[in-house]
Amino acid sequence: MSTMMTIGDFSRATRLSAKTLRFYHQVGLLAPARVDPGNGYRLYSTAQIGDAQVIRHFRSLGMPVQIIGEVLAADGVAKRNELIAGHLTRLEVQLDQTRAAVAGLQGLLAPAEAPLAVTHQSVPEMPALVIRDTIDLADLGDWCTGATRDLEQVLRTTAIVATGARGGLWSTELFVDERGPAALFVPVASLDDSGAPLGRARLELLPPVDLAVATHRGTGAPTTPSPRSTARWERTSPHTSWASTARSGRPTWRRLQTVSEPPRSAGRSSAPGTDPA
């Protein structure tokens, strides 16, 4: 028969504070073996020490209380491992976000470089394979990954011929209001699709534009163009040009080109964010 312990003794045995034990009781994660009906004191069994140690270990690994409860209640090893793997994935995403934030802060502390050169360029109308959507800013990275995959699928499975590097069009609303229109495109030879299925992509003739162009060279973490920043670096591209053009008094961003060039020193951007391509 298991020995009963007061909350104080159980706290010392498990290295969980009495306050934490009361909280775990409240949320149903670790209920005491018995509550004295006369005085309301919580009593724990020595058989509960193992569960308490497992809970403490998972909490030290950043696992939410709700997930710990699901792990303890899991029916079988496969379900338990699935829950643990899900938490691992969340930690990896958080780690990537932390690394991006660290790189952004390091960029702010880096020695100032020469002023960013801005040139003007007139781009004629351009036939392009385009995917458009209205998205939340938080979803920009995932959306661009999916849109890139779909554009590449169309190019692989149809006779449509790409004539330039992939580009993007981002509305100011997307950054100011955290929701707005976004587009990813690939310049193509013509608007003739020969009846081939394009999925969510469409062939469009992008209008001519006059652009202010800046190029950011470096090896820093990716950032997203914003109304205060005309350049960004992509980890996959050593040389990327971005431009802005005002339409109805509000700027739109377009990536112009990506060419091979040895990377120079890392640059900085005033708007760290999600890699849109």
* CATH for 219: 3.20.80.10
Of 38-47, 60-69, 94-103, 236-245, give the lowest mean pLDDT range.
Answer: 236-245
Report pLDDT for 272.
31
Q: Burial, 70: exposed, middle or buried (Cβ in 10 Å; 0-12, 13-18, 19+)?
A: middle
Q: Residue 237: which of 267, 212, 216, 211 has the closest Cα?
A: 216
Residue 48 sits in the same domain as residue 155:
no
- pLDDT for 64 equals 95
Tell me the HSE value of 178 on the side-chain side, using a 13 A CA sphere. Answer: 3
Burial class (CB in 10 A: 0-12, 13-18, 19+), 203: middle
pLDDT value of residue 274: 31
Q: Looking at the structure, do residues 66 and 124 belong to the same domain, yes or no?
A: no
Domain interval for residue 40: 4-73
Q: What is the pLDDT of residue 116?
A: 75
Q: 214 falls in which pLDDT band (50, 70, 90)?
A: confident
For residue 222, pLDDT over 70 is answered with no
pLDDT of residue 117: 82
- With 80 as the cut, is the pLDDT of residue 244 above it? no
pLDDT confidence of residue 74: 92
Please indicate, yes or no, if residue 276 is contained in any of the structural domains: no
What's the confidence (pLDDT) of residue 121? 87
Residue at 79 is within a domain: no
Number of domains present in the structure of the chain: 2
67-73 mean pLDDT: 94
Give the pLDDT mean for 56-69: 95
Dihedral class, residue 199 (left if φ above 0, else alpha if ψ from -120 to 50, else beta): left
pLDDT at res. 217: 64
Which of 19, 54, 73 is the C-terminal boundary of a domain?
73
Q: What is the mean pLDDT of residues 104-127?
A: 84
Mean pLDDT of 148-155: 94
Cα separation of 158 and 152, whole Å? 10
129 in the same domain as 39: no
Which 3 state secondary structure label does DSSP give 141?
A: helix
- Does residue 263 have a pLDDT over 80? no
Q: Collapse the DSSP code of 14 into the 3-class scheme (helix H, G, I; strand E, B; otherwise coil) and give the result.
A: helix
> Hey, which bits of the chain come out as E strands?
4-6, 34-35, 42-45, 118-123, 126-136, 167-171, 179-187, 202-206, 209-216, 240-247, 250-258
pLDDT at 248 over 70: no
Q: Do 129 and 197 meet the contact criterion of CB atoms below 8 Å apart?
A: no
pLDDT beyond 70 at 277: no
Q: Inform me whether the pLDDT recorded for 221 exceeds 70.
A: no
Tokens coding 198: 């394009």
Q: At 188, is the pLDDT very low, low, confident or very high (cuts 50, 70, 90)?
A: very high
User: For position 243, what pLDDT does the model report?
Assistant: 44
Residue ending a domain, choose from 73, 106, 132: 73
